[in-house]
Structure 1
Amino acid sequence: MNRRLIAPLVLGAALNPVNSSMIAVALVPIGIAFDALPAETSWLVSALYLATATGQPVVGRLVDRYGPRTLYLIGSAMVGVAGLIGTLAPSLAVLVVARVILGIGTCAGYPAAMYLLKRARTERPGSVLTLLTVAAQTIVVIGPTIGGLLITAGGWRTVFAVNIPLAAACLILGALRLPRTARVPGPRFDYLGTLLFAATLTSLMLALMGRYWFLALTLIAGAAFVTHQLRIAEPFIDLRVFGGNGPLIRTYLRTLMAQTITYAFLYGFTQWLQAGRGLSPSVAGLVLLPMSLVAIGGSALTGRSTRFRLVLLVGALTQIAACALLLPIGSSTAVWVLVLIAAACGLPQGINNLVNQNAVYHQADPARIGAAAGLLRTFTYLGALVAAAAFAHQGAGLRAFAVFLLAVSTLMLLLVCVETFLVRRTAHQPTSPEPVPSAT
């Protein structure tokens, strides 16, 4: 691949993780500024993930049809507009709109990078994939810390304002370095499937946040979505990847549970550090730093292992232990103890996230690996939405929140214990496949 492409691709792919992690330390200051409850500020998290979960497959298909340059530039411009709206927002509702625009705009970076890597046939793309992965993980590591420092320097609006120079850099680099490509004709886009999917996720989120009558709409929209997807030749999300593949379905369920724990710690624990423990946004961001660093270390230690069940057992057990550590802490707990707890929470995150991704790579039908990978991201976003709903009811306390996390982690352990067929053996599958790099 042309080295001139690396800078815009890495920067574009980093826009989503940086905005996902920085907001964690801004929720409490924003709630104070607009006199909003956690249930209301949690929409700043869920709005981005609802937009991303729906927009990612849409933008990915548009990249295939119109080329990466056009979608990359449009997405970068949307990020800049969202940053400006958030900086000037007079209300929480306008901030939520900014996060929706931000979620859609950040959908373009990763599929644009994958498109260009696929076209780069003269070189092995492994090094660039690794660079994208490391960059995303690093951004998640330092995102809360950067957010805390920005808030200390200029208030919570700087978390939105920083997107303006980032978007400008993407626009300049993208316009100068990304190649122009011809439009590729393709099948008609599944607009109905997109709307049904968005309706299902949105009504599910509202139901999880206490408006339980939306559950009926979730079931109706979900049933209509599944029926429609199975009836058309080119669906919005190819549900045929399940195809009786029990191990793959269970991997998606484990991903949902693991990501629920991951995002609950990232957002819920961070809110408690500020509202319950009284730490400043900058200090709360620094407390979280060991969690992400240990997560990267856990991924590095277990990334090449193909003993999926053993690694998952370790991940599930350490996850339960980390959640249990939250039970006795309170408003007087020493900061160094909170740092150690954050570090302990990082180990299962690094283990579970990577091994579930590697399991999907080996379990999915090779002819549908792209759709399988897309569904893995969908379940990741679903975990983030469940976490957002959980910490919306948290308030300043942590005990009930810790009990919820223990319940989810225990269910995951039970699912791992009953798993006897982690890798789907087929005639076309190699006996000792190489593990794949993690993607955030």
Structure 2
Amino acid sequence: MKRKEMLLITAVALGTLLNPLNTTMISVALARLQEDFHLTFADVSWLISTYYLVSAIGQPLMGKWSDIFGRKKVFMLGLLLVTLSSSLAPLSPSFGWLIGFRIIQALGSSALFPSGMGMIRSQITSNQAKALGIISIFSSTSAAFGPSLGGLLLHYGDWQLIFLCNFPFIVASFLLAWKLFPTDPRTTGRAANMDWRGVALFSAAIFMWLLFFLSLAEGFSLWKLIVSVGLSFWLYRYELGQSNPFINVVFLRKNMNVTRIYVQFILTNIAFYSIMFGIPSYLQSVQGMDPQKTGIIMLSIAGFSVVITPLASRWIDQSGSKSPLMAGTTLVAVGSLLMLLIQDHASAVTIFLVLCVLGIANGFNNLAMQTALYTFVSKEETGIASGLFMTSRFIGTILSSSLLAALFGKHITTPHLHSMAWTCAVLGIMMLALTVWMPGGNVQKAGLSN
């Protein structure tokens, strides 16, 4: 791969890691934030859920904008918004202000993955699996490093450092993108051409589903379920009749391979983020570990994700996405069941080894699903497809925060952890079933350079 191509990939990678990294870095700081702002776990979970909500809406929105207005413009705008939020969040006078700045951060970082992926697919025509493997490490595996980095920052400072540590990544990505990204072609797109009613319906539906799932901690709310289902059906019927829809339901209905990948990615992220947020809180509340030791334990997931990703890339180049994905989904079920071995006062070694299995699963799943997706998507559809892919991630993370609020809302115990483990094991089995239905490996291998 040429030096210029590697630098371009680096520019995209440094930008795209900001969203997943900031998603999970704060997990180790939740206990500290509860103390500072006098909150319960259910209260502080809104800091997570609002970030997910805005990211779920922002990813396809910014993907659409990058296709209409230009990928370089949208990428640079995203970096500027992250700069603004990272500067102001440490100065938050109240929890409400902190949520507001996190919303700006989520919107800005949502622009980076779809516009960056569109740039890579248009500029790099060979060795795309390798390029996607690098981006996968930064856009997906970086989330696994969040708790470890957050624990280190809290050991030497306070939660404000979690926002300030974004600046080296922002500056490096900005300078490389400014120099290496080609100038956007002249476009005729306008903001008025956006399907704003579709955006509003999608936002309302996602928000109501979030309210419904978060309310499960206190009991089943029939009216919230009815409103959520009604808004989802209204969105589906409305988008069917649009010539330029925000959510292309016709495309999803006709291309069931893409739809299955999105569903599978939702299930993957319910399991992954339940573990990424649940385990740090459990280790500090039940096992009595400090943030630094918690971060070191969580490094097991990040480390094995990184080690496995290059191996998964070579495996995909040789045989396609299906076989690595079957390995990854199987390991989700196995690793989740191994969490049942964790008891009160468990040894750090036992917890570390169990999480290693889940780290290997994460390394396989992220890259294999990403490469499988682009098999069925043209270059022209990369922006919106990438945005919807990340929306699937954040729908999964929204559901994971709801699961954790239901299990850990008032207090955290080992039996609650085991309930989460059983839930994640069932999700792993469902993911494996979807993988079995996927077309064979040769199809995936041939499609990467489309």
TM bin (shorter chain): 0.7 to 0.9
Letter paired with 1:381: F
Q: Which residue in 1 is equivalent to 2:331?
A: 318
Q: CA deviation at 1:288?
A: 0.9
Letter paired with 1:151: L
Letter paired with 1:320: A
Q: Which residue in 1 is equivalent to 2:285?
A: 275
Residues 1:295 and 1:48: Cα distance change in structure 2 (over 3 Å): same
Indicate the larger mover: 409-418 or 139-148.
409-418
Q: Which residue in 2 is equivalent to 1:329?
A: 342
Letter paired with 1:423: P
1:195 and 2:190 matched? no
1:208 and 2:213 matched? yes
CA contact (8 A) 2:15 2:112 kept: yes
CA contact (8 A) 1:313 1:413 kept: no
Residues 1:392 and 1:343: Cα distance change in structure 2 (over 3 Å): same
CA contact (8 A) 2:261 2:369 kept: yes
TM-score (norm 2): 0.84
Q: CA deviation at 1:302?
A: 4.3
1:226 and 2:236 matched? yes
Residues 1:15 and 1:307: Cα distance change in structure 2 (over 3 Å): closer
CA distance in 2, matches of 1:292, 1:68: 29
CA contact (8 A) 2:56 2:394 kept: yes
Letter paired with 2:336: C
1:67 and 2:70 matched? yes
1:377 and 2:390 matched? yes
Residues 1:133 and 1:230: Cα distance change in structure 2 (over 3 Å): same
Q: Which residue in 1 is equivalent to 2:351?
A: 338
Secondary structure, aligned partner of 2:114: helix
CA distance in 2, matches of 1:154, 1:47: 25
Encode CA deviations 1:227-269: one digit per residue, 9 max, x unaligned: 1111101111211223355554444333222211111111111
Equivalent residue in structure 1 for 2:419, among 398, 403, 416: 403
Q: CA deviation at 1:71?
A: 2.3
Secondary structure, aligned partner of 2:340: coil
Equivalent residue in structure 2 for 1:433, among 436, 445, 448: 445
Letter paired with 1:73: M
CA distance in 2, matches of 1:290, 1:224: 43
Encode CA deviations 1:378-433: one digit per residue, 9 max, x unaligned: 222111111111112313224234324423432542563487642189xxxx7573
Residues 1:417 and 1:220: Cα distance change in structure 2 (over 3 Å): closer
CA distance in 1, matches of 2:170, 2:204: 29
CA contact (8 A) 1:12 1:108 kept: no
Question: Unaligned 5+ residue runs, structure 2?
Answer: none
CA distance in 1, matches of 2:430, 2:58: 33
Alignment of 1:151-170 (within 5 A): 151-164=154-167, 166-170=169-173
Q: CA deviation at 1:181?
A: 3.0
Equivalent residue in structure 1 for 2:92, among 82, 89, 92: 89
Residues 1:399 and 1:321: Cα distance change in structure 2 (over 3 Å): farther
Residues 1:424 and 1:5: Cα distance change in structure 2 (over 3 Å): closer
Equivalent residue in structure 2 for 1:413, among 408, 413, 429: 429
Structure whose residues are more often helix by fraction? 2
Equivalent residue in structure 1 for 2:274, among 264, 276, 279: 264
Question: Unaligned 5+ residue runs, structure 1?
Answer: none
CA contact (8 A) 1:291 1:342 kept: yes
TM-score (norm 1): 0.86
Q: CA deviation at 1:197?
A: 0.9
Q: CA deviation at 1:184?
A: 0.5
CA distance in 1, matches of 2:320, 2:443: 13
CA distance in 1, matches of 2:253, 2:80: 39
Q: CA deviation at 1:12?
A: 1.6
CA contact (8 A) 1:294 1:346 kept: yes
Letter paired with 1:117: I
CA distance in 2, matches of 1:351, 1:126: 13
Q: Identity across aligned pairs (percent)? A: 24
Q: Which residue in 2 is equivalent to 1:9?
A: 12
Q: Which residue in 1 is equivalent to 2:37?
A: 34
Residues 1:288 and 1:36: Cα distance change in structure 2 (over 3 Å): same
Equivalent residue in structure 1 for 2:295, among 285, 303, 307: 285
CA distance in 2, matches of 1:70, 1:308: 32
Secondary structure, aligned partner of 1:235: coil
CA distance in 1, matches of 2:114, 2:369: 21
CA contact (8 A) 1:148 1:282 kept: yes
Q: Which residue in 1 is equivalent to 2:108?
A: 105
**RMSD (CA atoms):** 3.2
CA contact (8 A) 2:63 2:383 kept: no
CA distance in 1, matches of 2:131, 2:292: 32
Q: Which residue in 1 is equivalent to 2:367?
A: 354
CA distance in 1, matches of 2:76, 2:292: 32
Encode CA deviations 1:326-385: one digit per residue, 9 max, x unaligned: 234234111111111211222222333333334434466898676555433322211111
Q: Give the count of matched residue pairs.
A: 433
CA distance in 2, matches of 1:387, 1:103: 17
Q: CA deviation at 1:92?
A: 1.9
CA contact (8 A) 1:28 1:271 kept: yes
Residues 1:246 and 1:173: Cα distance change in structure 2 (over 3 Å): closer
Encode CA deviations 1:269-299: one digit per residue, 9 max, x unaligned: 1111112212121211110111122233444
Encode CA deviations 1:25-55: one digit per residue, 9 max, x unaligned: 1112111211211112122222222111111
Letter paired with 2:194: F
